[in-house]
Amino acid sequence: MSAPTAPLPPAAEAAMRDLELRLFAPDVLPAVARHEVASFRTAQLSDWLYRYGLSDADLDSLEFWQDVMRESRATLAAAGRLDLIGAV
């Protein structure tokens, strides 16, 4: 019988989670990055829409970034990692 081991320190647990993401869910980290960029651009374009109005090209861009957010969220939901974008 082996002796029980002590719990890992918090920094080691965080490192293990990061390693697990990289090894077992390679699409998760890129989805987080895409979601962050898309979220920023959507907020920026929405602000411009409110303040100045948008051209047709800007509206197309807004729709594109919203689609990117939806696709990224779906990828993260499938991996069970919505927590990475602050969603439940």
| pTM as predicted | 0.73
Residue given tokens 């919203």 in the structure block: 66
Q: What is the CA radius of gyration of the chain?
A: 19
The predicted pLDDT at position 15 comes to 86
22 residue type, one letter: R
3-state secondary structure of 23: helix
Query: How far apart are alpha carbons 10 and 8 in whole angstroms?
Result: 6
Domain map (residue ranges) of the chain:
28-85
How many residues does the structure list for the chain?
88
pLDDT at 3 over 70: no
pLDDT of residue 75: 95
User: Looking at residue 36, what is its pLDDT?
Assistant: 97
pLDDT tens by residue, 18-54: 788 777 788 998 999 999 999 999 999 999 988 988 8
Closest residue by Cα to residue 34 from 78, 67, 77, 5: 67
Q: Write down the mean pLDDT value for the chain.
A: 89
Q: Look at residue 33 in the predicted model and tell me its pLDDT.
A: 96
